[in-house]
């Protein structure tokens, strides 16, 4: 499965924003510099994330980007959907009519199972989990009061 650069950059930006001290908005230029993301590309990514309700933006001297909801409530699946739309691995899954072979396709069930496994994996990891880092990830998903990020 190929994960587009836009999605990888978007997730990195969200993790960086979530890791900022509570209440601090991060300027686009700071996120871009710290994450090594071209500023113009990051601006387009953040615009999409803002439209999806994942970040909020504020202008001015103390402006920048903040998460629009707690990091523990933003899954990797939310990011993928915001930046890429539909997340099926093969085109016939969301629309069986798109494939003339779907009624007799012997491989569709394999693709469907794989697609469901990927969806569960993406739904099962939050931005808070990623902020917590690899040690917390090995212990399992963050829970409780600390996962607001």
User: For the chain, what are the domain ranges?
Assistant: 5-133
pLDDT category at 1 given cuts 50, 70, 90 is: low
pLDDT digits (tens, 9 = 90+) for 81-97: 999 987 677 767 666 66
Averaged pLDDT, 25-53: 97
The per-residue pLDDT for range 119-132, each reduced to its tens digit, is: 899 999 999 999 99
| Signed CA dihedral, 95, 97, 100, 106: sign only | positive
What is the rounded average pLDDT of the residues 16-26?
92
CB-based contact 6:116 (threshold 8 Å): no
Angle between helices 108-123 and 76-84 (to 10 degrees): 120
**Which of 1.10.10.10, 1.20.120.1200, 3.30.2350.10, 3.30.2450.30 would CATH assign to domain 5-133?**
1.10.10.10
């Amino acid at each position: 499965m190929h994960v587009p650069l836009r999605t990888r950059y978007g997730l990195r930006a969200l993790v960086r924003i979530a890791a900022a001290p509570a209440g601090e908005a991060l300027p686009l230029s700071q996120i871009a510099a710290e994450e090594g993301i071209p500023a113009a590309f990051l601006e387009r990514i953040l615009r999409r994330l803002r439209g999806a309700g994942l970040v909020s933006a504020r202008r001015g001297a103390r402006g920048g980007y903040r998460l629009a909801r707690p990091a523990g409530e933003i899954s990797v699946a939310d990011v993928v959907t915001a930046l890429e739309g539909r997340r099926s691995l093969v085109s016939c899954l969301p629309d069986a009519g798109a494939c003339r072979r779907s009624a007799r396709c012997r491989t569709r069930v394999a693709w469907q199972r794989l697609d469901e496994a990927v969806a569960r994996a993406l739904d099962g990891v939050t931005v808070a989990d990623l902020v917590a880092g690899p040690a917390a990830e090995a212990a399992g998903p963050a829970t409780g009061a600390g996962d607001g990020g």
